[in-house]
Structure 1
Amino acid sequence: MIPALLKWIGNKQRFAELIVSYMPTEFNNYYEPFLGSGAVMAELLYSDENKMYPHFSHAYGSDVLPFLIGIFDIVKNEPAVLIDYYKSEIEQYMQDRNAKYFEIRDRFNENHNALDFCLLSRTCYSGIIRFRKSDGYMSTPIGPHKPISPDTFMKRVNLWHQLLEKASFATMDFEKAMSQATAGDVIYCDPPYTHSQRIIYGAQNFKIEQLWDTIRDCKQRGVKIMLSLNGTRESRKKNISVEIPDDLFKRKIIIDCGTSMIDRLQNTGKIMTNENVDDLLMLTW
């Protein structure tokens, strides 16, 4: 499992290896149009002689958040900049956590700096990146946890720098990103989950119906699509998925995610039983 660069609720780090295992053994290019933490891309890019990973040409990651894409660009092209920034800022943060956190958050809300956004992801409450719909203000409070040390962060940045050698990044919406894929390519989609994520990641305007149409267009061009989607909760007693068009997918894999991070946060100190959440992994082939 590749250590996370960003602290990001809902990331697929725990399931990335499983998701990659369902990819074709060989394909042309890889596209991830809802990049988020980049966990699945990182796993795909990881080279391990003990694992049978797919062979492909290049990976393209994109997202609508320019400051998120800015982090990956910095890690790929100027990793020392991020390493030095984190070391300087986190040392000040540890001296006066509240004052430093709100200083960084206020600064980010003024200029949407990628470096500040990276540090906020590592220090905000449980990695929940929440933007107000009215004005786009990043409003997540400070987290109670101790952020990782500068040395640990440096090792992660250097690892990701090596992984991203065969990757490129761009700020764009999923429709434009997916339109660039051609026959023989693979797209992995991890869109905002319709039941719980509309208030975070700036996802209030996401419409799943637009994604269905885009997937249909890609299929017609010979592109293979993988889609992670909310499935069930309360140990499969409650369906939290959406109506999926019958003509889009040929396979459905159920992934047991355990209890969700949000459920654990909302029930801190309580014993949770029969509260497992399942994701769906949908494949077009």
Structure 2
Amino acid sequence: MGNIWEIDFYSRPILDENQKKVWEVLVCESFTDIHAEPDSLFRFAKYCPSTQVNSVWLRTALEEAIQEANTTPVKFRFFRRQMNNMIAKACEDLGIPAQLSRRTLALNQWLQQRMEEVYPQEPGYQAATNPSVRMEVPLPQRLPDALIGQQWAFVSLEAAAFAEMPEWDIGFGEAFPLSMAGVQPETKIPGLIVFSPRAMPLAGWMSGLELANIKFDSKQTPQLLLETGVTESWILANFKDPATIAEAKSFETAKQQANGVHFLAVQSNPEAEAFAGFWLLQEPNLP
């Protein structure tokens, strides 16, 4: 897997001399490995005057970031749906794909740090939160029939066990350092394993999505959902059995106790030692 970069291009709680919001582009490298060193990840920040907020300015800033990093990412991730057109256009002009994603852990943490430590020190700082734009959330989709797992199981692993993840036999997957998610070595990390004779095609299909998190939804029909992108979700299972519903609720409780961290695994059968897919996930908290 090549370098994946995360982008945020949005106004900040800073006013210029004309009392207009200052904008900023943040670019940082994604966590893709359990042993990634946060200080070694590439970061780039640049303020943008409100009069120059457009895809041309953004493309130029991204070109500057690429030149500074001396490498070109294989794709960009971004979470602000309201910036979709501008970011997608700038990235398209660079010939690099950009995808809406809730999997922006490195960016979220950096943005939070700047909100607390950097912006308050800037002239024109205004203590306020940026309003978000509400967009309609589509209904969960059914998984393609060929990709529905035959079995699944709720499981858990101690966080310390993930130190050996680079040695596991994994076809498709992605991870991040658990220390950056505020997880202690003894914390139990809950997960879901999906078993399917078509494990590799299922894992390959999932790898093409921007996996966000697994969520138990009990509002109407109790369902286990796989959330992807920034609004999409897929029905992994429908529940009717009280015992299974209790398991799903326990999964949600364990996820909360692990700061939202959990995992999704795909295997051909319960006896398999290899994983067709394995992803560390975290319930996102996007600004």
Give me the TM-score of the superposition, normalised by structure 2: 0.25
Higher strand share: 2
Give me the TM-score of the superposition, normalised by structure 1: 0.25
Higher helix share: 1
